[in-house]
Amino acid sequence: MRLLHTSDWHLGRSFHRESLYDAQRAFLDHLVTVVEAERVDAVLVAGDVYDRALPSLEAVGLFDDVLVRLAGLGVPAVFISGNHDSARRLGVAARLIDRAGIHLRTDPDGCAEPVLLADDHGPVAVYGLPYLEPTLVRERFGLDRGGHDRVLGAAMDTVRADLAARPAGTRAVVLAHAFVTGGESSDSERDITVGGVASVPASVFDGVHYAALGHLHGCQRLAPHLRYSGSPLAYSFSEAEHRKTMWLIDLAADGSIAEERRIDCPQPRRLARIRERLDVLLDDERFDWAEECWVEATLTDPARPADAMERLRRRFPHTLQLLFDPEHADGDAHPSYAARVSGRSDLEVAEGFVRHVRPGAAPTPAEQAWLAEGFEAVRRADALTEEAAR
């Protein structure tokens, strides 16, 4: 059976305020083309279909369109909700949509109710485990405490129990949205530590032939049967070195992986993370390659250059993020912030901040007077508050 594993579409998300609508539409067009050209038997989407619980109308339109197109091809598709999705909203009309071969698995109570598929070698049971927030679902699994590991473990126990009751030789596939120990994260995944320890051990998925994982945005293989597809598009500069793909997996008759391929996803623009002094970035031919990229520039000038973003965009018109990391001369100490401000008055700290954010320029006498006046006004207000409290 040929499976196409993808996840973390994040429909509706932008990239540093750059719209990704056209890029997401191009990806979905590509997905449908791959499903048809590669004769895919089932599409697995492991959560975070949308970027937020209340998706935009444009995002809903993209999702609606791809569902209709997949149903038109007659290819079953299994979706689970992720931590960005609203499970209730994503699962609206799920029982009705099931009839079209589109299976939305968003209810924790349905973890042990597989989508049953079959090929020439027999049945394949596809279990969809939506994102399970421990504080909301632990009681459903008979747990009085515990984090992601115990909740997901309990859900997988129900999967294994159901699988044990099925005909011998039934192959098992599970979709899950979780942070599995050993996976590499990026800056664009929402933290899921609320409700307990974030990561779960790989052993949670023992007993199934393939686990299609979502949540982490980098494509990665934790074990032959345990993989993240990663997001189809980059959603942070920390993903600049990612190769954005989907997994094309052929399950053999015994449930082993007979063949695997990574199918590249179309990208709207290459990402570039460049670092140097501003004058070097503006003139050095080493950075020619970044001129058409979305750029994150880190300036290492000792003092912040004036109009840095405007000047950068003359050469790199798609600069989206500007960072500062001043270089220090050899032997310079790097004291902590607390050490740097120790023994200094509030006014001196404020004057130091002005010198830091401007190219080495100290506050003018007028600015010093304004700062002093502001601190004095705050002190008077605090004194009045304390007096009233007495």
Average pLDDT over residues 11-29: 97
The pLDDT of residue 231 = 97
pLDDT above 90 (res 192)? no
Task: Provide the β-strand partners of residue 245.
Answer: 264
Angle at CA of residue 190, ends 186 and 195, nearest 5°: 125
Count Cβ atoms below 10 Å from residue 310 Cβ, excluding itself: 9
pLDDT above 80 (res 104)? yes
Return the percentage of the chain with pLDDT > 70, whole number.
91
pTM confidence score: 0.83
The pLDDT of residue 353 = 81
pLDDT above 60 (res 330)? no
Contact between 210 and 251 (Cβ < 8 Å): yes
The pLDDT of residue 196 = 42
The pLDDT of residue 194 = 40
pLDDT above 50 (res 197)? no
Task: Note the pLDDT tens digit of each residue in 57-102.
Answer: 999 999 999 999 999 999 999 999 999 999 999 999 999 999 999 9
Instruction: Report the C-alpha gap between 353 and 349 in whole angstroms.
Output: 6
Average pLDDT over residues 343-361: 74
Count Cβ atoms below 10 Å from residue 388 Cβ, excluding itself: 7
At residue 127, what is the residue type?
Y
Return the percentage of the chain with pLDDT > 90, whole number.
76
The pLDDT of residue 352 = 78
Average pLDDT over residues 19-47: 98
Q: How far apart, in Å, do the first and last CA atoms of the chain sit? A: 77
Ramachandran bin of 94, using left for φ above 0, alpha for ψ from -120 to 50, beta for the remaining angles: alpha
Could you give all domains of the chain from N- to C-terminal order, each with its CATH number?
A: 2-264 (3.60.21.10), 271-386 (no CATH)
